[in-house]
Amino acid sequence: MYIVLGLLIAVAVILIVKPWHRRACRWREDRRALADGRVLHRCVACGAEIALPRGRTPQTCRAGRADR
Ligand SMILES: [Zn+2]
């Protein structure tokens, strides 16, 4: 009985915390994409794309927030 209860709590915690949204993106630079000084970064984990000035790298994962 306690095993089932523990399992339910674990599932609930995972659904609330959503650790896959906090996992760092695996960004790849695509220097060919933009010619105005910015570099396009594409995440191979979630498919998000973001353009940043040269020399900067994305710090956050945008999984599930592609509409922003
Ligand atoms: Zn990502």
Question: pLDDT in tens for each of the 68 residues of the chain?
Answer: 889 999 999 988 878 776 665 566 788 888 776 667 788 888 888 888 888 888 888 877 766 554 44
- Residue 9 in any domain: the answer is no
- Residue 35 in any domain: the answer is yes
Helix (H) or strand (E) holding 40: strand 38-43
- Tell me what pLDDT residue 66 has: 47
Q: Where are the alpha helices (DSSP H) in the chain?
A: 2-17, 19-22
Count of domains observed in the chain? 1
| Nearest-angstrom CA–CA distance, 66 and 68 | 6
- Residue 13 in any domain: the answer is no
- Residue 48 in any domain: the answer is yes
Distance 37 CA to ligand 1 centre (A): 23
Distance 41 CA to ligand 1 centre (A): 10
- Tell me what pLDDT residue 34 has: 67
- Structural domain including 52 reads 25-58
Tell me which DSSP letter residue 67 carries. Answer: T
pTM beyond cutoff 0.75: no
- Residue 2 in any domain: the answer is no
- Tell me what pLDDT residue 32 has: 73
Tokens of 46: 């979630």
Distance 52 CA to ligand 1 centre (A): 15
- Tell me what pLDDT residue 65 has: 52
Distance 4 CA to ligand 1 centre (A): 33
Distance 34 CA to ligand 1 centre (A): 20
